[in-house]
Amino acid sequence: MSDLSTWVPACKLEDIEQEGAIRFDHAGRTYAVYRGPDDSVYCTTGLCTHEAIHLADGLVMDYEVECPKHSGAFDYRTGEALRLPACENLRTYPAEVVDGEVRVALG
């Protein structure tokens, strides 16, 4: 059972397009929250590890996000860097949907 004290409401599921992402800022940090093709949700740190570009502005296809600046790509489920010039993985955070609301565990 997860520790509820660490879960933060981010948005409603309907706020994110399927195979889409939105930026979520919390406590001075920025994150990207993704909705996969099967409506599963994921959260990563919001900035590309190559340069500090917001990944929520990138292209989401299937379970990958492509950085809008140099087309580096990540698997947003695991944070794995999939394509250069991005070579450092993203940090990931647990995410879930409860009653249509997306919550992320940032603790």
Binding site for ligand FES (CB under 6 A): 48, 50-51, 53, 67, 69-70, 72, 85-86
Q: Give me the least distance between CB of 102 and ligand FES, in Å please.
A: 24
**Looking at beta carbons only, is 10 or 73 nearer to ligand FES?**
73
With CA atoms as reference, report the closest residue to 34 among 94, 106, 99. Answer: 94
Q: Give me the least distance between CB of 58 and ligand FES, in Å please.
A: 8
With CA atoms as reference, report the closest residue to 41 among 49, 32, 53. Answer: 32
* CA dihedral over 88, 32, 56, 52, signed as positive or negative: negative
Whole-number Å distance between alpha carbons of 17 and 5: 27
**Looking at beta carbons only, is 49 or 102 nearer to ligand FES?**
49
Copy the structure tokens of residue 40: 């599963």
**Looking at beta carbons only, is 50 or 77 nearer to ligand FES?**
50
Let me know: does 91 contact 36? Beta carbons within 8 Å.
Answer: no
Q: Give me the least distance between CB of 38 and ligand FES, in Å please.
A: 26
Q: Give me the least distance between CB of 39 and ligand FES, in Å please.
A: 26
